[in-house]
Structure 1
């Protein structure tokens, strides 16, 4: 009996080692690509951030001078402030609107209208952000669709070049982000609602609860994981926004829509200050992590 157990154990260990080897063979190509396209550029960026370098000539060691400039330059600090303002438009509005729309669409009967509604809401996700930015810049123009609609409903006095006004440029750009992300939030919430036990809705209706109590006591708690994922995605999108700003305002008028992504682009490619651009990029990465990691921690605690 003992003689048969030992070969079985040996064969089991051999099969386990073979499975590990096969797993590494599948993992190594992706790991090498990750190291080459993520880890190595990140480490290189950290290295460049301690130098003054124009990208061509000799570099000069400056220590933490680039980081000090990031935290003392009012223009760079202002771009970070604009990014936090965009969180309202990229996160608060899409997530709230997505919750409401998903709850309304849940009550619809399955059919062509429901399918078309979901398709229209998700459509911005398949449109390149650069194309969306260009289209919205036309609609926001003085003679664009937005001002024409305002004139048609008797609000022509509100018409203005929305992206050219210091007061409205940032909210106008933010609303483009809201439009893009609302469909993603709605579709993901619809998927999450489909996983909630329908008997919970039936039970609360038998208790005489209205739609608001049903929404706050069953739908929202049942979508904690989806809310956590979407808040994380949209906060990252707000803090690292580039495409929409670049194609609509380039950070103008003045610096009213300047965000870190545009600042890094300008510093690195226009001013040829690779060291400062790298330092600002590292600061932006740390800022994103400082915002996202507590959100993830809070989501895990609330799920317990």
Structure 2
């Protein structure tokens, strides 16, 4: 009895007991079964030449070298990085601008305003793709509007044009992601003390100085969350590409997530598809960690 009591007294106050790990064991088991095991299998497949039917042969790092040397494999990653301008940079910039404007002016119907902006996040991406495919069609709403206002020379097949197909898809991404950023930033603006705004206004600060002195520093955490969510959404974009362009015209809008599907199930290049999937995972991880490190570094710099 004394030995047992002494053992429990030697435990530091608040120190977790080993039995606590039993509570998280089911979650860890599900995580391993549904994420770690498939990821390991994907890495293994990326080291093989396999068409999905016949016997596989060892490829080593050939599939990964092809990602760096084959232009048809590099292009989807370049397209995905280009789409980050529309999926991440523009929505975050627009969200910050709207949040800054709403911090200076009181707007009636704020609940309705938030609902309308956030609506694209609620809709299934398949629905969004079908709707915008109809709008951007040669006989769609956008071209009809341009003709109605005398700008018929600007009409084109937006999703079938080699130059405009990728920006057109990116514009859809901007429309979808802007609402999420605005809602995040509006929530952040509400927790900024009004005294800070009053102080800089007494000092004669204009809207631009007020934004950089008060609003932007206070929304650093929300900016990191918004960038992380939008970057991930932009890089794993598949359903929108599949519905609107199927990677075309040619491969002008092909992105890694769609190329994984195309190579694995249409051209039977499973090893190459697996390598591209692993490369996409590494890219997403690297960018999200970089965003987190950048925000944390700036926060520590300001606190010092």
Consecutive unaligned residues in structure 1, runs of 5 or more: none
1:130 and 2:126 are equivalent in the alignment: yes
Q: Per the alignment, in what secondary structure is the counterpart of residue 162 of structure 1?
A: coil
- Work out the CA distance in 2 between the residues paired with 1:231 and 1:43: 28
Q: How far is 1:12 from its partner?
A: 9.2
Q: CA deviation at 1:137?
A: 0.3
Aligned partner of 2:237 among 241, 245, 251: 241
How far has the Cα of 1:128 moved from its partner? 0.7
User: Where does residue 93 of structure 2 map in the other structure?
Assistant: 96
CA distance in 2 between counterparts of 1:106 and 1:122 reads 19
Pairing 1:152-163 to 2, within 5 Å after superposition: 152-163=148-159
Q: Which runs of 5+ in 2 are unaligned?
A: none
Residue 43 of structure 2 is aligned to residue 46 of structure 1:
yes
> 1:20 Cα shift?
4.8
Pair 1:146 & 2:146 matched: no
* Secondary structure, counterpart of 1:199 in structure 2: helix
Corresponding residue number in structure 2 for 1:72: 69
CA distance in 1, matches of 2:114, 2:173: 18
- Pairs within 5 Å for 1:15-54: 20-21=18-19, 23-54=20-51
1:106 paired residue among 103, 121, 125: 103
From the superposition, tell whether residues 199 and 29 of structure 1 become closer, same or farther in structure 2 (CA, over 3 Å): same
Change (3 A) 1:91 1:62: same
What number of residue pairs does the alignment pair up? 299
Cα deviation 1:193-230 (Å, max 9, x = unaligned)? 11212110010111121111111111011111111121
- Pairing partner for 1:61 from 38, 43, 58: 58
Shift of 1:9: 7.3
Q: Confirm or deny: 8 A CA contact 1:188 1:226 kept in the other structure.
A: yes
- The CA distance in 1 between the partners of 2:74 and 2:21, in whole Å, is 44
201, 207, 212: which is aligned to 2:197? 201
Between the aligned partners of 2:204 and 2:15, the Cα distance in structure 1 is 60
TM-score, structure 2 length as denominator? Answer: 0.92
Partner in structure 2 of residue 223 of structure 1: 219
222 and 17 in structure 1: CA distance in 2 versus 1, 3 angstrom threshold: closer
CA distance in 2, matches of 1:292, 1:39: 19
Deviation at 1:18, TM superposition (A): 8.7
Contact 1:228 / 1:299 at 8 angstroms: preserved in 2?
yes
Report the CA distance between 1:19 and its aligned residue: 6.0
Give CA deviations for 1:143-190 in whole Å, capped at 9, x if unaligned: 111112222322221111110111110000000000000000000001
CA pair 8-148 structure 1, distance change in 2 beyond 3 A: farther
| SS class of match (1:167) | coil
Which contiguous aligned blocks of 4+ residues in structure 1 show a shift greater than 3 angstroms?
A: 6-13, 15-20, 106-111
The answer (yes or no) to whether the contact 1:267–1:277 under 8 Å persists in 2 is yes
